């Protein structure tokens, strides 16, 4: 078994183990639904970061950068815009929120609105969760660990298991670990890619206009009203804010997350743009990061 297969299996085992560990720390409904309202700035920020920069955002930014160039910065950039708006209302969300977003909706719009939200939110978020499962399945299948179908079932099973066992206590912990993995992995990839370009005497692409023929103002407007707004009213983000110890931590966690995404947006776009002409090495992870000749054997 290769090293990467061992790492992936260890990762899946770790996520499951965190869920089991959290299960024995659940004492009340509050522990399950809002982590006992004890979320610190680092746990809430880490969870928000991992939630926003899941498989769909990473793969989507890289793919868009190959088509639209540096204009792909707008994809994660629109999330940052939404987060800055969310930071403004996060203290009120933390103060008024209980366990779920529909409960808070009831405070403002009544029982009928709450019931409507409980139907709409799960249906709408099926697509979001499905993309995360697809990304995980592609990873497991791409390294030859299992088939795509088995990978999808495995990822879905692990996601459901650790969430069902430990609730938000489990989610905050697993998300924080995943945030560290994402940050460390992208930083290493950026360093390796930069060194490779310099050693090969390949000119690093200069940041051109953030608008071009493949991405214009109309595209940005559509992105803002369909994507950015989900970070202002998204139930995933609200559920993390509900876990914060107080209003200050709720606001600061959102701001920290927004500022963390900015350099990550540049790294992802850079990796996608510089992939052209970089031939993959056999057995490497070209299915995730296109053009993987810069990775060590």
Domain extents for the chain? 3-273
Provide the pLDDT for residue 35.
Answer: 93
Provide the pLDDT for residue 138.
Answer: 85
Provide the pLDDT for residue 277.
Answer: 54
pLDDT tops 50 at residue 282: no
* pTM score of the predicted model: 0.86
Report helix angle 247-273 to 41-52, nearest 10: 40
CA distance 138 to 147: 9
Mean pLDDT of 2-16: 87
CA distance 146 to 154: 9
Provide the pLDDT for residue 259.
Answer: 96
Mean pLDDT of 235-253: 94
Angle at 158 between CA 104 and CA 83, to 5 degrees: 40
User: By C-alpha distance, which of 154, 102, 99, 165 is closest to 132?
Assistant: 154
The segment with the largest mean pLDDT, out of 131-140, 202-211, 247-256, 271-280, is: 247-256
CA distance 226 to 245: 31
Percent of the chain residues past pLDDT 90, beyond the cut: 50
Mean pLDDT of the chain: 86
CA distance 294 to 280: 8
Can you give the length of the chain in residues?
A: 297
pLDDT in tens, 74-99: 999 999 999 999 999 999 999 988 88
């Amino acid at each position: 078994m290769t090293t990467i297969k061992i790492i992936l299996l260890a990762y899946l085992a770790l996520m499951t183990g965190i869920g089991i560990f959290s299960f024995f720390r659940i004492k009340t409904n509050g522990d399950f639904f809002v982590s006992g309202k004890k979320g610190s700035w680092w746990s809430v920020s880490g969870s928000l970061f991992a939630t926003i920069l899941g498989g769909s955002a990473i793969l989507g930014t890289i793919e868009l950068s190959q088509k639209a160039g540096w204009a792909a910065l707008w994809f994660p950039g629109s999330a940052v815009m939404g987060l800055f708006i969310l930071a403004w209302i996060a203290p009120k969300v933390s103060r008024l929120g209980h366990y779920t977003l529909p409960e808070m909706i009831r405070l403002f719009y009544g029982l009928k609105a709450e019931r409507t939200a409980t139907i709409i939110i799960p249906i709408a978020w099926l697509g979001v969760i499905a993309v995360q499962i697809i990304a995980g399945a592609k990873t497991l299948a791409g390294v030859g660990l299992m088939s795509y179908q088995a990978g999808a079932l495995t990822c879905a099973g692990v996601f459901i298991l650790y969430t069902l066992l430990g609730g938000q206590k489990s989610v905050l912990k697993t998300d924080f670990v995943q945030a560290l993995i994402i940050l460390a992995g992208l930083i290493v990839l950026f360093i390796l890619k930069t060194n490779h370009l310099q050693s090969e005497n390949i000119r690093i692409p200069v940041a051109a206009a953030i608008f071009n023929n493949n991405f214009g103002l109309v595209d940005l407007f559509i992105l803002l009203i369909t994507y950015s707004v989900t970070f202002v009213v998204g139930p995933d983000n609200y559920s993390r804010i509900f876990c914060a110890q107080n209003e200050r931590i709720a606001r600061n966690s959102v701001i920290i997350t927004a500022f963390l995404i900015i350099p990550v947006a540049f790294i992802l776009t850079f990796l996608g743009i510089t992939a052209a002409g970089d031939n993959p090495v056999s057995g490497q992870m070209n299915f995730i990061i296109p053009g993987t000749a810069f990775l060590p054997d």
